[in-house]
Structure 1
Amino acid sequence: MTNEITSDLYLSNKNTQIKQTGNSSLGKDDFLKILVTQLQNQDPMNPMEDKDFIAQMAQFSSLEQMTNMSTSLNTFLTQSQASPILKGSELIGKTVAWLDEQGNKKQGIVSTAAVKDNDVSFRINDENHTVLSLDDILEVSS
């Protein structure tokens, strides 16, 4: 009787299962739970050093401040990107250049910015009170 080794018995053909347990990132609540658990389960004859405890609290404080700063920055970016009038208002008082219907380069100072249907338009302080879209502007200078 012969025993034959088939290819389905090779180790490289074995299906490996990856076990996942929840989220892979730790938040400030997780940090506090770990710290409280450490304090509850420490050896009463050999308690945690004061400097170790202070260092962990400093790390927690830094983590909380970075989390709050990240949240504030994301809120600011979302609000500033959502408002086209804020983007348009940055050009008020700036000198812009554009091409007229004949292809001649013109320059003027932006006097107002307006939004209609989420499109920004700019009124130029020239004799024709030219109205430009953002796509029409070639150059911006102060």
Structure 2
Amino acid sequence: MRVVNRIDPSLYLQNQQTRGTGSNSLGKDDFLKILMAQIKNQNPLDPMKDKEFISQMTQFSSLEQMTNMSQSFQAFTESQSLPPVIQYSHLIGKEVSYPVYDQETGFVDRIETGMVQSVNQKDGQTHLELGNGGLVGVGEITKVSETDQSIEDAENDVETNG
């Protein structure tokens, strides 16, 4: 009679690689499988207490709700993160006011206005290109208003459609 003292590790490793889902984290299905295996294989003379079972199911329910909430929040965050160019594109055609600083003192010298022609993004900064040729950072805007032309267009639309 021949006794085998050694297990071939290559067979064990091959079986290990094909067994799992490829993920190191446990999901809700894995949790339910473990819980069902625990219930099936419990000692019939000392069964799992009701409190333990309810506690584990509560933990599972909480985990599932947190996972769902996390996924929903991630989807919401992705839907809200618009590129700055698109985020500020509604300012095109609007009149914006912005401070002009005195070069010597660094204090606000005056407030100027200009009509936004386009929105530009360069080096991580978003700027508004104005009709007067100026370039203003979006953080410098102090006021946004309708231009006289856009008000006239709106009034004409009301007269034509009304």
TM (norm. structure 1) is 0.53
Measure, in 2, the Cα distance between the counterparts of 1:122 and 1:54. 63
- Give 5+ residue unaligned stretches, structure 1: 1-18, 124-128
What RMSD, in angstroms, separates the aligned Cα atoms of the two structures? Answer: 4.5
Contact 2:118 2:128 (8 Å CA) reproduced: yes
User: By how many angstroms is 1:77 displaced?
Assistant: 0.6
**Partner of residue 106 from structure 1, selected from 91, 111, 129:** 111
Contact 1:97 1:137 (8 Å CA) reproduced: no
Tell me which residue corresponds to 1:48: 48
The residue type equivalent to 1:30 in the other structure is: D
Richer in helix (by share): 2
**Partner of residue 135 from structure 1, selected from 125, 133, 137:** 137
State, as a whole percentage, how many aligned pairs show the same letter: 39
Measure, in 2, the Cα distance between the counterparts of 1:114 and 1:49. 72
Tell me which residue corresponds to 1:12: none
Tell me which residue corresponds to 1:81: 81
Instruction: Note closer, same or farther for the CA distance 1:69–1:131 as it changes in structure 2 (3 Å cut).
Output: farther
- Give 5+ residue unaligned stretches, structure 2: 1-15, 144-162
Counterpart secondary structure, 1:51: helix
The residue type equivalent to 1:106 in the other structure is: I
Instruction: Note closer, same or farther for the CA distance 1:79–1:45 as it changes in structure 2 (3 Å cut).
Output: same
User: By how many angstroms is 1:32 displaced?
Assistant: 0.8
Aligned ranges for residues 1-142 of structure 1 at < 5 Å? 22-82=22-82, 84=84, 87-88=87-88, 97-99=98-100, 104-106=109-111, 135-138=137-140
TM (norm. structure 2) is 0.47
Contact 2:85 2:119 (8 Å CA) reproduced: no
